[in-house]
Amino acid sequence: MLKPPRLSRSPSKSAMTALYARYNSDTAVSQYCDAHYGLDKFGVENFSRKITRISAAALEGKPQNSALNLGCAVGRTSFELATHFEQVTGIDFSSRFINIAKRIQKRGKICYQLPEEGVLISDHEISLADLNLAETADKVTFLQGDVCRLEPRFCDYDLVLAANLIDRLPEPGKFLANIHQRLVIGGLLVITSPYNWLEHYTPRKRWLGGRFRAGTPLTSLEGLSKKLSRHFTMIGEPLELEYVIRETARTFQHCISQVTIWHRIH
Ligand SMILES: C[S@@+](CC[C@H](N)C(=O)[O-])C[C@H]1O[C@@H](n2cnc3c(N)ncnc32)[C@H](O)[C@@H]1O
């Protein structure tokens, strides 16, 4: 069983590295390369493509100069966002993920392996050109870093996307309390999450929801709304967005993230 590393109020870089060891593993590299760049499965559209379309549609009529993609993993969503935005910054704590994203950006392609069954693996190659994304590479900047400790220069974005990130943070409430600083007034914050809270990543008392507060059930949407209400209003209703993560040739995770879109009002 995974034991959570001991965390002080502000986790040190080494505690963070231990916390996110999974995102530097061979298994995670395979799964995320396939989820981002592999073929669609079971008729479920690629998550990066779909969340980009939803975000761009929500921004219609507003400036689409710059986007900040927090927890960008191996990069596909940042390239997709660059089909709409002039500049995209993708940040992830996993140095392995960021190195893969940078390699694809530089070489225009990447090779990766997938587990088939037992010790058998298969080799795969994808190129940005195959995905109609070759023209986007120059518009994206990938950086390794902790999204909870971003420098002030990461500000004035028209869109901030935090896809499947908040339930992996030690202090999601603190992250949300400061996130408005990254956006222009009128900009949009798009959050997606399966609200898969785990004590390995987030102590239970800091879960935004999925727990009881004073004996009453608290949903993650309620917790999220409370944390964001000072600077944002929610646009429309939450959406449910599917994605599939391949484990082996015959084992898959079928996940659903709730998508909420927030308009920065002050
Ligand atoms: C569940 S994955 C989602 C990846 C990607 N957004 C997607 O939807 O495919 C969570 C990602 O967030 C990254 N992450 C988690 N905590 C982070 C932090 N504090 N700073 C930067 N990245 C972080 C992980 O390395 C991982 O790539």
Q: What is the pLDDT of residues 24-61, one digit of tens each?
A: 888 999 999 999 999 999 999 999 999 999 999 999 99
E-only strand ranges, 74-156: 87-92, 109-117, 120-127, 140-144
Minimum-distance ligand 1 atom for the alpha carbon of 51: 8
pLDDT tens digits, 206-237: 999 999 999 999 999 999 999 999 999 999 99
| CATH code, 92 | 3.40.50.150
Ligand 1 center–CA 214 separation, angstroms: 31
Q: What's the domain count of the chain? A: 1
Give the model's pLDDT for residue 10.
Answer: 59
- Is 2 within a domain? no
- Its domain, for residue 127, covers 13-264
Residue-wise DSSP of 52-78:
HHHHHHHTTTS--SEEEEET-TTSHHH
- Is 52 within a domain? yes
158 pLDDT higher than 50: yes
- Is 4 within a domain? no
Report the alpha-carbon distance of residue 97 to residue 168 in Å, rounded.
16
pTM above 0.85, yes or no: yes
Asked if residue 260 has its Cβ within 6 Å of ligand 1, the reply is no
- Is 204 within a domain? yes
Ligand 1 center–CA 114 separation, angstroms: 20
Asked if residue 97 has its Cβ within 6 Å of ligand 1, the reply is yes
- Is 8 within a domain? no
Ligand 1 center–CA 216 separation, angstroms: 30
Which range has the worst mean pLDDT, 9-13, 65-69, 170-174, 258-262? 9-13
Residue nearest to atom 14 of ligand 1 (CA): 71
Asked if residue 168 has its Cβ within 6 Å of ligand 1, the reply is yes
- Is 70 within a domain? yes
- Is 117 within a domain? yes
Residue nearest to atom 4 of ligand 1 (CA): 73
Give the model's pLDDT for residue 19.
Answer: 80
250 pLDDT higher than 50: yes
